[in-house]
Structure 1
């Protein structure tokens, strides 16, 4: 994904979730993966899929059981 596409996706996620601290950053080791961050914490990953001329994006958010106990 190029920088323009990443910025568009980041703006979309910020609007959708009402959170201006969401940021997307490329993973230097895995070019196909974008890290989804809130502040300095990685909360998930984003992948792009192009199939038969149609583009979609998949966001995966992982929640550890120990994170649930923090509250």
Structure 2
């Protein structure tokens, strides 16, 4: 993703989810997934896809079973 795309997707996710603590981090390795954070907590990845001339971005959120115990 270009820096402009990264900024646009981050701004959209912040508006959509109502959370200004959402940040996207550029991967250190070329062609690796962009990392999605809420504050300092890694929560998933963002992938760019181009199909039939259309560009889309998908978000994959990771929930660890050990994090579920913090709810109770």
Coarse TM-score class (shorter-chain normalised):
over 0.9
C-alpha separation in 2, matches of 1:24 and 1:31: 15
TM-superposition CA deviations, 1:18-51 (whole Å, max 9, x none)? 0000000111125341000011111000000001
Aligned pairs, number: 71
Partner of 1:4: 4
Structure 2 runs not aligned, ≥5 long: none
TM-score (norm 2): 0.92
Partner of 1:43: 43
RMSD of equivalent CA atoms: 1.0
TM-score (norm 1): 0.93
Structure 1 runs not aligned, ≥5 long: none
C-alpha separation in 1, matches of 2:69 and 2:57: 30
